[in-house]
Structure 1
């Protein structure tokens, strides 16, 4: 049962010598490591001083999550809720991407070398682990040729979607989780339902803690594949025979996973600061139909000028296979279908239908082509209001198609089709997609005010800082300051804002950061535009009321501020803050306005 039936009979006949097998493992891992280091090389020049250019905000968020998770386990704090950002209301991290497992496993490295280094290590290892996990699944269970397994695995790990999400997404680059879950689902049919169900339950809990949205997609893909495969006439008897063991195993999986995830799930759906669905527009964050035929930006084709801007941003090129690869995938399916036995055709049919379903769903609630929005409805419009679906981005459903294309490529190489046309087709389809390194940029250093621990002389233990401008996704420096203080044993301070998803969006949905008040909203506009509005006694009183609400101890404006999307207008900010709060005082490389509680 499963895609294993696509493998030729020789797979299980005589397994290769263990030494030869491990040499192949090391070779593929070595190639993957070199490619991963190449893709992330811009960070490795200076992990503490450089950031991914197109997504430095998410990088700052993941660095903060790594440092907070490390602090939570060493200080006995709640890993799924904190008042250290979004003070005084706090932030529900269970509805955010808390990457708890990564934070715990890599906590020693975070404390030793800092969160930026940990971020670079995890991002690089994610790509390597994805390649090896798929190679292991393919070479041990699905194909007889190690060349075929390596072809499929390396394509999946360094496909356009993976390279695109390598722009700071530690959750979506954890592609190694998918083959492990698929493998454990396949094993449920073997009859050891108690053991295999428990192992799958643990794996589900790990996957949820790293990429909950990804787990949802994996479950959907398995459901579509297995339902389609089981419905084929030639496989119905096999499916019925395997069903009891699989149901028992899935029951154990549910019990184990729920036991491990009961608290974060409760926090997600019923905890404080929760919300129903993200505030992102499903029409905007849907895959452009033409995107499947376009080339990605960080590829040989991209730097040759053949890329497009069909994705909402550079981190969401979730398909972008290019026309040659789409044609090769179709031709591969045709060839494999033509030479397949009835049982293998059932598997190919299930793969094809799964790819088609997720392709159509990735197009979102209505057709969008070449950035032109239409009113032509699509099936996702019916799913979008449903729980869980309303918290997912439809465009990311295209990520399921990438492994299916990789499987087809591996199966085709394993079938050894005759003729020179196939090697040429592979070259034409895959060479333009070879990845190039991610663009990085120098980011502003942590102020001496923080690194010297001088902040502790201004803010009491557990006190509250308001950064200027207030910390958000576009200006994430405050959370970088927090991460530095925690990992260097300086203690803690809270921020009145932060880069996280919380309540307050339209129709009860989520939004980035807390609902703004007068002071933070005005200073944000000044930071972005440089235009200072009229500030008089009424505005000063409103600012004092806001500071009292937030229980702020100090307002801090650094000399150098990192703007993740636009340059920060520093001089205008200094002028506006002085008009609100007075002249301030100079400490190290920042301006500070001390706030007296109750004033």
Structure 2
């Protein structure tokens, strides 16, 4: 259904590339990869001063959570634990990795670095490498849609850079969203769409279907939400093509059916256990984990950039009025790029380009969610994504994150425009080059990436002799989802090996009392600690006894209090006295941590 410069005749014999051409292609990708890596390193150069002691991003909570999961996988494999289930956090109920942003595929790839230099370093490396890999994959995926000469290579290189360092990736990098900086599935699906819909029954449907199943399985082990988005828009692409070429549906159905069988077969066979964990596994949330009606993009973001974009014609503070936090404000396209896309659609006679632009427009509309939000104000205007709001699993998609499909389509349109833009006369050449230049400059990334300190008290570097794997530790300050250091306790536990379990954490799960739990639960000890830290009256002896009994009932064997690290500050001397009262232990101070033992310990299997 789709034509490309390299397949004007679908029935023509395609000569095999010569060793020289293969070498030139490999050299092209190598040089491009180095160039992308240098850009990524420059954007994140602040972390290079101390990659093990700083975290990329404006906040630390999500970064600490990702670092914990990166550490968990190699630990689990080498200690006979299930890498996709754990009770080392959220004890005794445990966590289901497939319902958390556990990125097990990345944990495998980064495991050598995690073991050698720690999970904080691995997290930082992942954020740096993710856009590079994603950009290179788009360069490869655009091969069938551009010419094979120098101009085609320039077109693909520019598009890859646009995708890699797009406003979407810049926004999620500063939010510490490691999973979303690795947006590798959309480019793969673009290439898959070419083989499924561009070559149809002649394109080895069993092989293409099987490889599609592998790609989807890889994304299942990377981030399930992007998997759902990718499948939805692969189907939408098929519908757009069917509407455009209704007479060719019958020709394509047999091949697509075979590809679908192969895809589902490979995905189900190899992903049976991860699928079980998603659909029926333990510790999964029993109700919706987010309000889908509050996770759409701000309509204004399409033309209003954030501080992540270097060239801004709007006031510097305009982005602060957009809905959501900066990590979810990656939908900027801009007037110049929008103009280029419109001109490309009108000028370039290409069905492929117009289909890609159509899918991009539909993805942008979907990213707005179930209703229009303009500069943070919810308007009473329903949108098509309402159809998905009541569908199980699909209702968990945050529509704002569909922006990655829009970014992919914009980059692909730009590539096809550069490859075929009219340069026949001086006037058209000047106009085309000027429009292209303005569009590319409007997406230049700002030097605005940030880092945050990621200190780990010396005590947690080696907890042997003080704590054992059988210990369950209550950490103060309490582990929460608070952006600034709310989840620092996860970083400390990971640094210890982990050498102990923790009762709380920052996660997505359930427990016997709640259908959805997202962070460490309050207990009487933590309530009392907050009470005295805030300068309130001392808890009664009866309440103190109840707090001690509750910790024992929860299986807690020790309390670790880290002075000077409380997110909200407060009177830590009183917290120290309160902890002594609850545990009945004067405590031991070692390596910057007060450790208190409870007199009765519940053994862990």
Deviations 1:249-295 (A, max 9, x none): 22111111111221122112212211145433333321011011111
Partner Cα distance (1:525, 1:368) in 2: 39
Matched with 1:258 is 268
1:173 paired to 2:184: no
1:69 paired to 2:73: yes
Matched with 1:160 is 167
After superposition, the Cα gap between the structure-2 partners of 1:584 and 1:351, relative to the gap in structure 1 and judged at 3 Å, is: same
Matched with 1:498 is 505
After superposition, the Cα gap between the structure-2 partners of 1:306 and 1:516, relative to the gap in structure 1 and judged at 3 Å, is: closer
Number of residue pairs aligned between Structure 1 and Structure 2? 578
> Deviation at 1:523?
4.1
Deviations 1:443-489 (A, max 9, x none): 252111111x2x33333432111110222232222221222222xxx
Matched with 1:519 is 525
Is contact 1:561–1:568 with CA below 8 Å preserved after alignment? no
Unaligned runs of 5+ in 2: 423-427
Partner Cα distance (1:5, 1:223) in 2: 21
Report the more deviating stretch, 415-424 or 437-446: 437-446
After superposition, the Cα gap between the structure-2 partners of 1:57 and 1:321, relative to the gap in structure 1 and judged at 3 Å, is: same
Matched with 2:155 is 148
Matched with 1:458 is 466
User: Which of 572, 579, 592 is equivalent to 1:589?
Assistant: 592
Report the more deviating stretch, 298-307 or 139-148: 298-307
> Deviation at 1:122?
1.9
Partner Cα distance (2:440, 2:581) in 1: 58
Note the 1:51-450 alignment, pairs <5 A. Answer: 51-144=55-148, 145-167=152-174, 168-188=176-196, 189=200, 190-232=202-244, 235-276=245-286, 278-301=288-311, 305=316, 308-309=319-320, 310-336=322-348, 340=349, 344-345=350-351, 347-417=352-422, 418-450=428-460
Report the more deviating stretch, 368-377 or 305-314: 305-314
Partner Cα distance (1:437, 1:567) in 2: 32
After superposition, the Cα gap between the structure-2 partners of 1:521 and 1:431, relative to the gap in structure 1 and judged at 3 Å, is: farther
SS in 1 for 2:319: coil
Is contact 1:535–1:579 with CA below 8 Å preserved after alignment? no
> Deviation at 1:54?
1.8
Matched with 2:555 is 551
SS in 2 for 1:166: helix
Is contact 1:532–1:572 with CA below 8 Å preserved after alignment? no
Partner Cα distance (2:569, 2:301) in 1: 30
After superposition, the Cα gap between the structure-2 partners of 1:428 and 1:569, relative to the gap in structure 1 and judged at 3 Å, is: farther
The alignment's C-alpha RMSD in Å is 2.9
Matched with 2:425 is none
Deviations 1:297-331 (A, max 9, x none): 22213698365121411211231223332233223
Is contact 2:556–2:601 with CA below 8 Å preserved after alignment? no
After superposition, the Cα gap between the structure-2 partners of 1:403 and 1:591, relative to the gap in structure 1 and judged at 3 Å, is: same
Report the more deviating stretch, 553-562 or 465-474: 553-562
TM-score normalised by the chain length of structure 2:
0.88
SS in 2 for 1:200: helix
After superposition, the Cα gap between the structure-2 partners of 1:182 and 1:321, relative to the gap in structure 1 and judged at 3 Å, is: closer
> Deviation at 1:236?
3.5
Unaligned runs of 5+ in 1: none
Report the more deviating stretch, 57-66 or 113-122: 113-122
1:482 paired to 2:485: no
Deviations 1:493-547 (A, max 9, x none): 10010111112699x76331254333335546777xx454651123213311320
SS in 1 for 2:328: coil
After superposition, the Cα gap between the structure-2 partners of 1:113 and 1:249, relative to the gap in structure 1 and judged at 3 Å, is: same
TM-score normalised by the chain length of structure 1:
0.88
